[in-house]
Structure 1
Amino acid sequence: MVSFFVCLVLLIVGYFTYGKVVDNTFGPDDRETPAVRINDGVDYVVLPQWKLFLIQLLNIAGLGPIFGAMQGALWGPVVFLWITFGTIFAGGVHDYFSGMMSERENGASVAEITGNYLGNTMKNIMRVFSVVLLIMVGTVFAVGPAGLIVTLFKNAGVSGIFATTLFWLIIILIYYFIATFISIDAVIGKIYPVFGVCLLVMAVGVAFGIVTNPNYVIPEIWDHLYNMHPSGTPIWSFMFITVACGAISGFHSTQSPLMARCMKSEKQGHFVFYGAMVCEGVIALIWAAAGCSIYEVTGGLNTGLSEILADGQSAAIYDVCIKTMGGVGVVLAMLGVIACPITSGDTAFRSARLTLADWLKIDQNSWVNRLKLCIPVLGVGAVLGIGNALGAIDYTVIWRYFSWTNQTLAMIVLWAASMYLFRNKKNYWITAVPATFMTAVSITYFCMAPECLGAFGIGATVAYPAGIIAAILFLGLFLRATKKPAPAANK
């Protein structure tokens, strides 16, 4: 349990120390923000700082730091290290720069920002990448909550249409359409702060339930500094892909522009972007600790955890809430674990609309123009979600492709941030180092994973060197670019 609390303290201290270093490196000032300058009443709306923080937290959280962290616990308490140091030196940096770079460019989507620093080819790649990722996220965060609602109703003895995934999926998709279409402060600005508090209360409740129950012992990192995965899945780089949102996630860069369009001052960035990521890291750490302590660990195998995870994320989260908080856990599971992924799903589809709007240069002040983009974006999500509910599409396949796409996007955004810092004659190593690391993670996984090149029998012997070589190559190309005269900076 000591190592858990050490990691918790490191996350909090990291916000006030390294987070401040990141903030000072960027250099926020008193310039007029897009929310003040444009203020269209739809996407550009000034919101108070506390709302910005809670909305950003819900935008980036969802099921990621909960279910992803529990999956990461299969590797044992070594996952605490990735959550802690990944959040401080990679995730927080990634979220901060994706938000602040967007703010400096009128709230532009991540694809447009990336293109400005990595070229038009990368801009077009990122446009497609972002839209596909956002629709997958929206679909994942519609199917998951629908499944949990069904689990709760069935456990309560309810049957009929209210105990079917398809019914609740349709209800969630209708809400997604409304939240994607109307002004950001009409629904999101009002209900997100409430659910943000629920997410935090649920995490505190789980932590309290673990710490106070003598039957739950959080294992120490130094006693289990080895791979405990029951299937022998290697830590590198599968754990770094699986535990995405709790350490670093490219999805966050697609969400940050939403709040970049609503900030009254640039000086809010440290709290809103870096702070929300640290808070998510804390949530992930708590749920990873739950996975490591509540379930049976025998002979190095997380047998009990792997069994509950096999029943799906809805069953796993419900089980933890019941075991740590009893009846209160059921209520929090309903309010937190249902609402939180839904509140990431709606903003995922909203971000997809804005990304397409930036790409196709379609003004979003007109409700007709918003409708033109909402219908196809939600239509694709509905096909994927309903296909899964009917058994035609495997949800786990969607999640696996999302995981790799997610971390690859994070890698690209960090390289774009490095070029931004170079052009502005600032310390680019704070982004170049995590960019290099994530390049190795992404390429290694792509070579080994069964849904990627691993399907052709490529193993660690090839994948590990390939990841290292790719990381060195990308870093070399970046350093070579820094030797050339920097183009005019977008300050």
Structure 2
Amino acid sequence: MNSVLLAAIGIAMVLAGYFLYSKYLGSKVYRLNAHFRTPAHELQDGVDYVPTNKYVLWGHHFTSVAGAAPIVGPAVAVIWGWLPAFLWVTLGTVFFAGMHDLGALWASIRNRGQSIGTLSGRYIGARGRNLFLVVIFLLLLMVNAAFAVVISGLLVSTPTSVIPVWGAILVALVVGQAIYRWKLHLVAVSVIGVVALYALIVLGDSVPVVLPDTVLGLSAEAFWVVVLFLYAGVASVLPVWVLLQPRDYINGLQLFVGLGILYLSVFIASPDFVAPAFNSNVPEGTPSLVPLLFVTIACGAISGFHGIVSSGTSAKQLDKETDARFVGYFGAVGEGLLALGSIIAATAGYRTLADWEAVYSAFNQGGVTAFVEGGGNIMNAGLGIPASLSATILATMAVLFAATTMDTGIRLQRFVVQESLELAGLRLGKGVATVIVLVVGMGLAFGAGADGSGGMVIWPLFGTTNQLLAGLTLSIVAVILLRKRRPVLPVLIPLVFVMAMSLFAAIVQVRTFYTSENWLLLVLDLVIIVAAIWVILEATIAMTKARKSPAETDDESLAVETSVDG
């Protein structure tokens, strides 16, 4: 089969989801109201609560949620064939991810920008909240520690990406000043910023930065891990408009341009798939497609991490409630397009089936490497971009996606630490809380790996933990909708499916960890399973009570006409 047809079908499906299904969700389920006073206005502080242009906020949200996972997950999952991965990404984006991200954003907006962990206390109960915060903390720890490893590895393996990756920070600082201090026109600032970023990519391709084997007593990879954590710590305490928001926005534009180049190359080169639609010749040791497909591809279909971002940072910056449809649902569409691009690059970017099978010689092979190599081959064939420059563009895309997610992840983990300690009656400033987050993150990175690669130790739990968190988030949204007597099936059906597949996968992993005598992951997996089941039981009780309780009114929405712009 030719990849052009699959790309066209996939793009049409996810765009139809935005223009049709998200409109239904916005008007009938969440009933977005343009006149509702959002937390960004009610609690405006110039640091975390900042009313933001919806296009700028979309850039922040998109690049925060679209880390390395929507590249890695699909590029690993194609080991079962490209068709199962394609169906889960497209259908998941339309009916699962967009609804989940928009729902988490809406729930937080309607509760003064509170995080999904705090909302669990209000709508499920104190015990559910405490367990929810444990799951969130573990997930953020996995994301921050593992993404630091992924980024450091790419900076070492693709030294041409070093200049554009770090130069993007300077561009973002200027963009932030231009938008908020100098009040320059957004379009002009955006164009200049994107041109500057691509100029840095060209410069980086000509001037690779290769670190010596040892830097300050650390390996090159370990040195980058330390620098990344320190940078993310500083970024997490700055006002969002100074660095985090403009960095995510301008990176979002640059990354969307990069995706456009990849898709344009696909339509011009028109490569055929060399990988099978269903792979019956999987390597020995490859787990079954069900349920592992649904946790291997998390980001790109549905991801619990998105709910943390939606309620942790994006809800605090939303200017109008109706902007939530564009920021939340279309943010999921952007990630779905990235995941689709990863599938095509990893299956149609190789010359022969033998070449593809050489890369996918075992489960968990492929990943970023397959995306960069396969995508680079397609860009070279389609647009004649030199192989080195193609690799630099795609590697920079992967690093920037992961880095912006790590920036947001450190900030979110700081929020979780502060919220958790406040429940115990202890208030911490953001500086102290950030230090705790950095110590824990780097402790994992170096405590389990002298080269800073310890973050990958608990990464095998990411997929199941992430999907369980998505199910738990949907349970909170379902309780709120039941209280308001809104249509709840668009949430309940994905909730049941995601929880079933996630718990199934977690139980399968228990056996795997026990057989391999990996006691750390076995214990953590059991903790996560118990916490998830407990929260689901609490949520089920809360849903039953919500159905029997008097219907809640819609506060401000009673006095004004509902609008679903976006």
Q: Deviations over 1:40-90 (max 9, x none)?
A: 111101111111101000110010111111112112122100001111111
**In structure 1, which of residues 184, 190, 197 is the aligned counterpart of residue 240 of structure 2?**
184
Do structure 1's residue 303 and structure 2's residue 357 form an aligned pair? yes
| 86, 101, 111: which one aligns with 1:95 | 101
- 1:378 paired with 2:438, answer yes
Give 5+ residue unaligned stretches, structure 1.
Answer: 459-465
Q: Select the residue among 404, 417, 424 that pairs with 1:356.
A: 417
Q: 1:357 offset after TM fit, Å?
A: 2.5
Residue in structure 1 matched with residue 46 of structure 2 by the alignment: 41
Match of 1:57 among 40, 55, 62: 62
Cα 1:128–1:81 change in 2 (3 A) is same
- The equivalent residue for 1:199 is 255
Please give the alpha-carbon distance, in whole angstroms, between the structure 1 residues aligned to 2:267 and 2:454: 37
Query: How far off is 1:270 after superposition?
Result: 0.3
Matched, 1:425 2:428: no
Whole-angstrom distance in 1 between the partners of 2:472 and 2:553 = 19
CA distance in structure 1 between the aligned counterparts of 2:7 and 2:338, rounded to whole angstroms: 12
In 2, distance between residues paired with 1:42 and 1:123? 26
Counterpart code for 1:351 = L
Match of 2:77 among 72, 75, 78: 72
Q: 1:169 aligns with which of 204, 225, 230?
A: 225
Q: CA deviation at 1:457?
A: 6.4
SS in 1 for 2:264: helix
The residue type equivalent to 2:31 in the other structure is G
Correspondence list, 1:2-401, <5 A: 2-24=5-27, 25-29=29-33, 30-77=35-82, 78-153=84-159, 158=210, 160=212, 161=214, 164-213=220-269, 216-218=271-273, 224-225=277-278, 229-231=282-284, 232-257=286-311, 258-295=313-350, 298=353, 303-307=357-361, 313=367, 315-325=369-379, 326-361=387-422, 369-387=429-447, 390-391=450-451, 394-401=454-461
Q: C-alpha deviations, 1:287-311, integer Å up to 9, x for none?
A: 1111121246749x95134159867
1:407 corresponds in structure 2 to 467
Contact map agreement 1:92 1:275 (CA 8 A) in 2: yes
Q: Which amino acid aligns with 1:60?
A: V
Checking the alignment, whether the CA contact within 8 Å between 1:14 and 1:88 is kept in structure 2 is yes
Q: In 2, are the aligned partners of 1:111 and 1:126 still within 8 Å (CA)?
A: yes
Structure 1 CA distance for aligned equivalents of residues 301 and 6 of structure 2: 17
Structure 2's unaligned 5+ residue stretches are: 162-207, 380-386, 517-528, 556-566
Q: Give the direction of change, closer, same or farther, for the CA distance of 1:409–1:312 in structure 2 (3 Å limit).
A: same
CA RMSD, Structure 1 to Structure 2 (Å): 3.0
* Conserved? CA contact 1:145–1:314, under 8 Å: no
Q: How much does 1:488 deviate?
A: 4.9
Closer/same/farther in 2, CA of residues 406 and 266 from structure 1, 3 Å limit: same
- The alignment partner of 1:158 has SS state of coil
Task: Tell me, in whole angstroms, the C-alpha distance in 2 between the residues paired with 1:130 and 1:117.
Answer: 17
Deviation at 1:395, TM superposition (A): 4.7
Go from structure 1 to structure 2 and tell me whether the alpha carbon gap of 1:485 and 1:443 turns closer, same or farther (over 3 Å shift).
same
Q: 1-side partners of 2:209 and 2:108: how far apart? A: 48
Partner of 1:462: none
Question: 1:104-150, CA deviations, whole angstroms, 9 ceiling, x for partnerless residues?
Answer: 11111110112222222111111111122112211122111111000
Counterparts of 1:139 and 1:93, CA distance in 2:
28
Mapped partners of 1:331, 1:427: distance in 2:
47
The answer to whether the 8 A contact 1:109-1:254 is kept is: yes
Q: Is the 8 A contact 1:33 1:263 kept in 2?
A: yes
Amino acid across the alignment from 2:129: K
**Counterpart amino acid of residue 341 in structure 2:** I
- How much has 1:282 moved relative to structure 2? 1.0
Count of residues paired in the alignment: 469
Distance 2:70 2:308 in 1: 17
Change beyond 3 A, Cα 1:356–1:394:
closer
How high is the TM-score relative to the length of structure 1? 0.87
Query: 2-side partners of 1:235 and 1:343: how far apart?
Result: 31
Per mean C-alpha deviation after superposition, the further-off stretch among 5-14 and 270-279 is 5-14
Checking the alignment, whether the CA contact within 8 Å between 1:246 and 1:283 is kept in structure 2 is: yes
Cα pair 1:74 1:302 within 8 Å, conserved: no
Q: Give the direction of change, closer, same or farther, for the CA distance of 1:268–1:350 in structure 2 (3 Å limit).
A: same
The whole-number CA distance in structure 1 between the counterparts of 2:545 and 2:351 is 51
Shift in CA distance, 235/254, structure 1 to aligned 2, threshold 3 Å: same
Q: 2:283·2:362 contact (CA, 8 Å) conserved in 1?
A: no
* CA shift digits 1:226-270 (9 cap, x unpaired): 656434421111011000001000011110120100111101000
Cα distance, 1:487 vs. partner? 7.2
Instruction: Confirm or deny: 8 A CA contact 1:74 1:292 kept in the other structure.
Output: no
Query: CA, structure 1 residues 157+116, in 2 after alignment: closer, same or farther (shift >3 Å)?
Result: closer
Q: Comparing 258-267 with 192-201, which one deviates more in the overlay?
A: 192-201
Amino acid at match of 1:143: V
Q: 2:349, 2:375 within 8 Å by CA — same for their partners in 1?
A: no
- Equivalent position SS for 1:266: coil
Amino acid at match of 1:26: Y
- Residue aligning to 1:463: none
Partner of 1:485: 549
Change (3 A) 1:392 1:147: closer
TM-score by length of 2: 0.76
Query: Does the 8 Å CA contact 1:169/1:386 hold for their aligned counterparts?
Result: no
1:306-355: CA deviation from partner (whole Å, max 9, x where unpaired): 15986775534432343233233233235322122111001011011122
Residues 228 and 185 of structure 1: CA distance in aligned 2, closer, same or farther (over 3 Å): farther
SS of equivalent residue, structure 2 residue 314:
helix
